[in-house]
């Protein structure tokens, strides 16, 4: 399922937000003087006028002094926002305060006594939701809308600029399988001085947008609209009246099953001989270990974040048997991201991939490549009382920058695995892998490293597997430089020679987001 979700954000100078700020200022005054005070303040703002109305309650000792403090506090709040224009100036607007004491009938409902629940009793509750799309746990289009206006406000406050305090941003994002994919359009409207030129406004706002959103998500330039009406000099309450209010957007979708889709990872032609092999089609380029090597039911998820999968191209390997020094292979491939019909999925569709969707290696030419050296190193212990085997792989990959990506993506890996048969009934596997990625998500100065260790024990028909991944996230921007970790484990039982039942759990804390998951899996091999 694909769709577009749009969110907007308004600046501190927007009439709606100004009214919010004034009402909050009144609330703060009451609570600072008397924590048990009651406040229901509505603010109305229009040309050169601010009006307060509503109900309040405080002790008679405090009420008079609080009411006297309201007007200067409101004017200070408007000054902090930045309004000094002719028809709405913090020092000159007309101020009317119609706040009055709360009704005794309402007070009966909101006061708590005799173990009675607090609340008016006739009111509903508004609620929202958190999601894992962003570090702040809010939906991606709203997050980026907020981010644009925050940076615009910081610039206005810290520079002698032509921007006014009133502004609005709107971000529309493409979703595939209920997950954000890229931004389809951006609209920013910002108040400005009379003598500001449109081209200068657009230049500066574009710069702010590019500093607020990853390049890989940005839409085409013609889909970024800045002051589309052409002029925004009159702003704030002088241009648009507002009262204190709020909005909510419900989400009724069930995401529980939508994460699971049927995809085709590999479809290729193979040629294999004793010393050489070749492949052509859709495949997973070899850099580190195959993620199916990692123990535990969720072992593949611990490393799939940095894996390279579902590419179109060709490659091969040269094999060498070195006797007592083991068997080794040099693997190489060139590729690009799948943009054909095989990029779609069945049942719960993630949508057809295209070159315009951006992302590294999404170039439709063979400008990306990988090369790796790996194999096995057998050795003996105590005169061959038993034989152990060590597998290794050293890898390198270069993925070319796609459309809208700031740079390419380079990665280095080192992997080692040791499998050991302790007895006829007991075996073990130990695995370590280190992956260094420069320009993560094709963002300049955004690097990551993944260090994973795993252990698997097999006893008769039982198996236990677990792994731990530490993520070192190195980004220039502090709010994007969160380190993380993934821990997962499972226990399984072989119901037959080709049927295995597993129960597992995963605890993931990455990018300042926490995910916990438990599940079961039935694996059938044939």
> So what's the pLDDT on residue 254?
42
Quote the pLDDT of residue 260.
52
Q: What is the pLDDT of residue 246?
A: 38
The DSSP string of 89-139 is ETTTSEEEEEEEEPPHHHHHHH---TTPPPS-SS---------SSSTTSS-
Beta bridge partner(s), residue 397: 370, 411
Q: Which two tokens mark 513?
A: 């987001």
pLDDT reported for residue 86 = 81
Q: What pLDDT does residue 255 have?
A: 40
The span from the CA of 218 to the CA of 440, in Å, is 16
Q: What is residue 354's predicted lDDT score, i.e. its pLDDT?
A: 78
| Burial environment of residue 166 by CB neighbours within 10 A (0 to 12, 13 to 18, 19 or more) | buried
Cβ-contact 45, 18 below 8 angstroms: yes
pLDDT at 509: 85
What is the pLDDT at residue 324? 72
Domains and CATH numbers, the chain: 2-11+128-243 (3.30.300.10), 15-110 (3.30.300.10), 267-524 (2.40.160.10)
Using the Cα atoms of residue 223, residue 229, residue 231 and residue 236 in order, give the sign of their dihedral.
Answer: negative
Q: What pLDDT shows up at residue 251? A: 43
What does each of the 526 residues of the chain score in pLDDT, given as a tens digit? Answer: 688 888 888 888 888 889 989 999 999 999 989 888 888 888 999 888 999 988 888 888 888 899 999 999 999 999 999 888 888 888 889 999 988 886 554 555 555 555 545 554 444 444 456 788 887 788 889 999 999 999 999 888 888 788 888 888 999 999 888 888 899 999 999 888 888 888 889 999 999 999 899 888 899 888 999 988 777 888 777 665 556 543 334 344 444 444 455 778 889 999 988 889 999 999 999 999 887 788 998 888 777 778 898 999 999 999 988 877 788 999 999 999 998 888 877 655 566 777 777 788 989 999 999 999 998 876 544 444 444 568 999 999 999 988 767 789 999 999 999 888 788 889 899 999 999 999 887 777 788 999 999 999 999 999 999 999 999 988 776 656 778 899 999 999 999 878 889 999 999 887 667 788 898 988 886 6
Q: Tell me what percent of the chain is helix, strand and coil, each rounded to the nearest 5.
A: 20, 45, 35
């Amino acid at each position: 399922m694909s769709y577009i979700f749009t969110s907007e954000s308004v600046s501190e100078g927007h009439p709606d937000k100004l009214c919010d700020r004034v009402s909050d200022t009144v609330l703060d005054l009451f609570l600072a003087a008397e924590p048990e005070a009651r406040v229901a303040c509505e603010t109305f703002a229009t040309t050169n006028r601010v009006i307060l109305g509503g109900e309040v309650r405080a002790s008679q000792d405090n009420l008079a002094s609080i009411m006297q403090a309201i007007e200067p506090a409101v004017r200070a709040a408007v000054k902090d926002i930045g309004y000094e224009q002719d028809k709405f100036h913090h020092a000159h607007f007309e101020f009317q305060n119609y706040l009055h004491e709360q009704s005794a009938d309402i007070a009966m409902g909101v006061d708590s006594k005799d173990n009675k629940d607090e609340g008016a009793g006739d009111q509903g509750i508004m609620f929202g939701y958190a999601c894992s799309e962003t570090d702040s746990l809010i939906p991606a289009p709203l997050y980026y809308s907020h981010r644009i206006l925050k940076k615009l406000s910081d610039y206005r406050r810290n520079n002698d600029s032509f921007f006014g305090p009133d502004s609005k941003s709107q971000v529309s994002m493409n979703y595939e399988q209920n997950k954000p994919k890229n931004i389809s359009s951006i609209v920013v409207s910002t108040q400005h001085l009379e003598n500001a030129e449109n081209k200068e406004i657009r230049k500066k706002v574009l710069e702010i947008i590019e500093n607020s959103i990853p390049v890989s998500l940005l839409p085409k330039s013609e889909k970024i609209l800045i002051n589309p009406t052409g002029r925004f000099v009159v702003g704030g309450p002088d241009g648009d009246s507002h009262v204190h209010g709020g909005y909510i957007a419900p989400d009724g979708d069930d995401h529980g099953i939508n994460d699971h889709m049927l995809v085709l990872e590999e479809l290729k032609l193979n040629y294999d001989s004793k010393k050489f092999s070749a492949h052509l089609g859709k495949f997973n380029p070899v850099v580190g270990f195959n993620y199916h090597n990692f123990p535990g039911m969720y072992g593949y998820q611990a490393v799939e974040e940095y894996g390279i999968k579902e590419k179109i191209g060709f490659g091969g390997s040269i094999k060498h048997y070195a006797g007592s020094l083991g068997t080794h292979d040099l693997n190489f491939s060139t590729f690009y991201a799948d943009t054909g019909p095989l990029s779609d999925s069945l049942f719960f569709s993630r949508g057809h991939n295209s070159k315009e969707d951006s992302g590294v290696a999404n170039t439709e030419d063979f400008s990306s490549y990988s090369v790796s050296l790996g194999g096995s190193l057998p050795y003996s212990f105590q005169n061959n009382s038993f034989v152990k085997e060590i597998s290794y792989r050293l890898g390198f990959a270069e993925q070319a920058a796609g459309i809208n990506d700031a740079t390419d993506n380079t990665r280095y890996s080192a992997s080692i695995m040791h499998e050991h048969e302790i007895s006829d009934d007991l075996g073990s596997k130990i695995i370590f892998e280190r992956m260094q990625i420069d320009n993560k998500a094709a963002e300049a100065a955004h690097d990551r490293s993944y260090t994973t260790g795993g252990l698997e024990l097999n006893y008769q028909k039982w198996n236990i597997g677990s792994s731990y991944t530490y993520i070192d996230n190195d980004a220039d921007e502090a709010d994007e430089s969160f380190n993380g970790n993934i821990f997962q484990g499972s226990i399984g039982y072989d119901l037959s020679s080709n049927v295995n039942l597993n129960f597992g759990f995963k605890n993931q804390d990455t990018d300042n987001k926490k995910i916990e998951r438990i599940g079961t899996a039935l694996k059938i091999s044939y």
